[in-house]
Structure 1
């Protein structure tokens, strides 16, 4: 009897352990944040190179703090400022130091405008006397310290202002700003979205001049969106949005001198259709700026001398397809500069002298540099990230500026990203791969050795062990003569003698990457959930995606949706021929560009795909913005067939499978117009389909229970269409 009791006890323990390791992932787990990883928020290296600051939230006091840590010991040195001690604000969401680190701009009440832009209340905190002063009583944009820390420039109501922190006086340096007409120093919608910057003004090194771009939106067509809200009548959000082939803002470049209170207009020729970057050199009288033609295949780096009012061409980049705009231009102490370019077929680092003459190509090889971190003048070393260790991985490297003595500074295979100390003696490495949650370590910048762990997300890793998790299997699949990167998830109890439905995910946009050796996104947990329910989930990066050289990336030029769709259909056919995949039950989904793709795959691949889900899809590139679309397609006037041949709207007659179409009505990026026009085409073709509209939701379709509702809808659709 005693032995029976012992056996029952052992059985109970074993059953409990097995049950603990076989928990099923649910959508509520995913969207309640159960799998959220710890991170380091708003990391800033202090000027001394020995310490760094982080924005923290104290749940006990409900206060936000800026905490200072020592790189070497990883011990907290002090709390620099806590909102608990500030009577004027309950919290702050961001911070920016002055160059001498004696003052800090604290942000609160930040309200998003578009993807990157926001208005908010901003204060200056004085570190030495612990005082807090508002910059303005108004909701302002992009407050920025002058290099000497005595002034702050900011934008309000499309005009630029400068506040003197010593006298408290504020001066207005532009006065013609007007909504949907003139913008000074802040980018318009399309620049913000596609050139990825908001602040279009810059301080000179001597704190005496401000260069800024003026946007004249007068001739840009307006787009309006109904905002339904909760009132009896809806309102309208009206903004300037240039669709492909339509007029863009007319841009002009100006320099305001605070000493003389004068503004100089810089004369630009017809090549300056876009001004995608603005940057002062180390010489306070030398402004650099980049100009780009409308086709975006001819870029000039220019230099303007404020003393002589003359311009000089530093560099000219051309490409048959397009030239990428980056933030990698770096002026060194002698005003020579670092530049990255794809001109040899892969993205590499180049060093030019102060007049734009090439000194040398720093990096070389059949691989892409994926990030430029900076230059250490003491060691004469450049720090960068690349895919030298395989295009699905990222590693951190250093190399002499003369191109010699390259060192790999990251040791773990997966995705590594670095944040360097101000003196380049240390770096905080962010590492993850498909089996390792994000880890933050302190590393020696000379040889990459790990000094200490900072955040390891061990609790999340332990939690994941309790769930049924399928291994993400990385491989390549040869499609249309190319070895395409792929990952596959099989059910944990996979049986090769059975057949499983196949669900494909992709994005496929130019230069993008969905197959990467990195830790889970929210969608990855969803794919794990689908694998639990008996699906094989696959992702394939087809032609046109990134980090495999310029030729591979730019093959889709002038015909988006042709080669990418051919690759997904061919991959589905090849996978469907595997004995353990049911070729009659193949589905595909995508969001945004991925939704454009999944729609086309279902329509054009009617004999291959049984179902598709398209969320917030572009359905005709004629409806999308100028900068992104024309970069890859030229204008509709120049390339009408490129726009129409691969538009899902023009292939609705081929629909045979199950189709779910989803959009948010407040999508300022991919307008709901795309879905409405596709719906009308489907109706007129007498094609049955399912669709869902989310009121007042933007391109991300989130807020409250929205994501949970959306993913429940998509999951049910997949189960009904592909399930057994």
Structure 2
């Protein structure tokens, strides 16, 4: 999924000035004023030191202490998290906070663990997980809260909290990936050499649960599109009672094997990769259950006996055990993604699955992680967009709807926690405004939705396993990420990391110039509401005219216009201090607005999205302080695609554009993502052609900068080189910067310093040189 790669970069999208004949009709759709949709965040106090590009990327991080990997121990007595070091924000140690005393301390120094080179498989997996850094990157609590499992550099470590000892586990030769503790903490499981292994912690006996892995056969491993597009990073699942493990077996034989060049400064690495491009073959997938007692493997039938659809060309996006360990559920998705079925199978009748819920769409059915089977009643909670917005439903185990837990023209983000004893369902959503993520709860029996979180901004709660106590990972435009402990009604119990921007905080010296945007709404051509953010220059003089940078993503499952803290906005703050207006608009196709808003793009990408960005530019032209002749657009990934499409399709709207790591021909991207939005190439040839940038290259005039990582394994470098060649064949002048060894996310302080300095220089030359 390309959108999740935007850890630092805004979605890229190029917009160009409107054709005169369209101006009148589009102006009629623009709101006469920017309308506030939420309480504006307060500006920060602090020094007025100008922000530099070098400081944006240096340590300590401007956001201050911003832990990751938040967890509550199963007994609820400790909060644990990973925190970067002051002298190296990308090197993580394990920290803890005592819930009773509120005292924080270093729990485990990562220097005690090995720091060997990662395997290619693990590097790829971390890239899919968006895990970047060194030191301790993952850890897992034992059920008794007395120990932790810590994977590091292919080895596994058992950290005992009773005596603070660290023991390397005897897992044999090779690199262990996807390691975890079993539900009751008696075993450690992992994947090595494409097979599943289990280590008994009491006896230290190691068993291979599968043995046929190798070559094109992978056991207990998630295939490429499952990792990249389905948010499924694993291929195995423990039964709650530890009696068995469900696992996938994938056969990649039919998937096209391509030779991908990764270009580094000191040479070229040829990588053989089975990449399922749009319209090509996917893996063959099977679901098995292996018992720990005798290592017997039995296979699950993936369709009911009377089902007319016996196709093997399907996806298996989710697998979940029921609490009693006697039943297994799995989600079956058709290749065209119009169908998603939740199926249930008994462990003693694996060949006889029954369908509990059917989801259907003429466009596509979005996946989620919100299935939860209850323990105290024979029922489950299921999330669905069947009424146009993502909401929670309660079903019995026969698939009969019991009650609709949430409803309305707003979307649920995620199911967070269920307190069956007290009868509450906790979830995050957009009930109050689409630009904030709040925590709510609703009675399990159905009833009124209550808001639990208090502050305006983005709340990401982490609940304890067995009680309604949660950690709130909160941020807003004026508050870098902070973490607090809360009770069941949202009452704050303690700070884990207040991260207040005060004297001594890394941001404090710069905070006095930090700009808070103005939120607003515009109307798309079909009348739907578009959310916007506008950052004014600092200092601001209403009598002057300022050049504009439109920062865009524009693709599905993403959202830029939020009341949130984002490292992507550091460059925005730099630009406003250099005298630019920065504008953002979430066009149709973006997330959290319902299916009508999102599915406008079905079978034709780059049309509605570009039209909406034109509406944004028309609004900018109505502002007295905007220099309408000097507007640029900048985006990365899908935003890079949007930048090219906007510049090529509507060259009268933008004077310049920056396109980072763009998709340029959707036939080059993977099956699950591309076919979700465009369908199969054989059934939508015209849609694929119209959604490519190449039919519009001839319209390009001037003012383009492209950049790409030359080892990008997500949006392949070929996407950019094809555009280079097309522009060169047309005799068009443009600029390009390619980064040896860089992946899609463009990591590394030196790389980012060079990139952002180059972007700033390009914008200055394009938008300011004529003045």
Deviations 1:47-94 (CA, angstroms, capped at 9, x unpaired): 223433334577799997655433354235x87655677799996443
| Structure 2 equivalent of residue 596 of structure 1 | 641
Q: Structure 2 matches for 1:82-93, cutoff 5 A?
A: 92-93=136-137
Matched, 1:365 2:408: yes
Distance 1:578 1:466, change over 3 A: closer
CA distance in 2, matches of 1:537, 1:318: 40
The secondary structure found in structure 1 opposite 2:663 is coil
Matched, 1:621 2:666: yes
| Structure 2 equivalent of residue 75 of structure 1 | 103
| Structure 2 equivalent of residue 654 of structure 1 | 699
Match of 1:408 among 445, 451, 465: 451
Matched, 1:198 2:243: no
Residue 385 (structure 1) shift = 0.8
Q: Higher mean Cα deviation, 578-587 or 236-245?
A: 578-587
CA distance in 2, matches of 1:66, 1:573: 50
Q: Higher mean Cα deviation, 406-415 or 33-42?
A: 33-42
CA distance in 2, matches of 1:22, 1:69: 34
Report the TM-score when normalising by structure 2. 0.85
| Structure 2 equivalent of residue 38 of structure 1 | 65
Residue 568 (structure 1) shift = 0.8
| Structure 2 equivalent of residue 106 of structure 1 | 150
| Structure 1 equivalent of residue 622 of structure 2 | 577
Q: Is the 8 A contact 1:49 1:425 kept in 2?
A: no
Match of 1:259 among 293, 308, 315: 293
Q: Is the 8 A contact 1:271 1:291 kept in 2?
A: no
User: Which 5+ residue runs of structure 1 have no aligned equivalent?
Assistant: 1-18, 110-119
Report the TM-score when normalising by structure 1. 0.91
Q: Higher mean Cα deviation, 473-482 or 497-506?
A: 473-482
Q: Higher mean Cα deviation, 144-153 or 326-335?
A: 144-153
Higher radius of gyration, 1 or 2: 1
The secondary structure found in structure 2 opposite 1:148 is coil
Q: Is the 8 A contact 2:345 2:354 kept in 1?
A: yes
Residue 443 (structure 1) shift = 2.0
Distance 1:259 1:387, change over 3 A: same
CA distance in 2, matches of 1:685, 1:584: 25
Q: Structure 2 matches for 1:182-331, cutoff 5 A?
A: 182-229=217-264, 234-269=268-303, 270=310, 273-309=314-350, 310-331=352-373
Deviations 1:225-246 (CA, angstroms, capped at 9, x unpaired): 2234465x53311111111000
User: Which 5+ residue runs of structure 2 have no aligned equivalent?
Assistant: 1-44, 117-133, 304-309
The secondary structure found in structure 2 opposite 1:522 is coil
The secondary structure found in structure 2 opposite 1:474 is strand
Q: Highest relative contact order (Cα 8 Å, sep 6+), 1 or 2? A: 2
Distance 1:674 1:203, change over 3 A: same
Q: Structure 2 matches for 1:115-130, cutoff 5 A?
A: 120-128=154-162, 130=165
The secondary structure found in structure 2 opposite 1:705 is helix
CA distance in 2, matches of 1:278, 1:79: 36
Q: Is the 8 A contact 1:609 1:657 kept in 2?
A: no
| Structure 2 equivalent of residue 52 of structure 1 | 79
Distance 1:230 1:567, change over 3 A: closer
Residue 335 (structure 1) shift = 4.0
Count of residue pairs the alignment pairs up: 691
The secondary structure found in structure 2 opposite 1:470 is coil
CA-atom RMSD, angstroms?
2.5
The secondary structure found in structure 1 opposite 2:55 is helix
Deviations 1:6-28 (CA, angstroms, capped at 9, x unpaired): xxxxxxxxxxxxx9843211101
CA distance in 2, matches of 1:641, 1:489: 39
| Structure 1 equivalent of residue 491 of structure 2 | 449
Distance 1:534 1:668, change over 3 A: same
The secondary structure found in structure 2 opposite 1:378 is coil
CA distance in 1, matches of 2:671, 2:238: 29
The secondary structure found in structure 2 opposite 1:637 is helix
Deviations 1:641-661 (CA, angstroms, capped at 9, x unpaired): 111113111101001130011
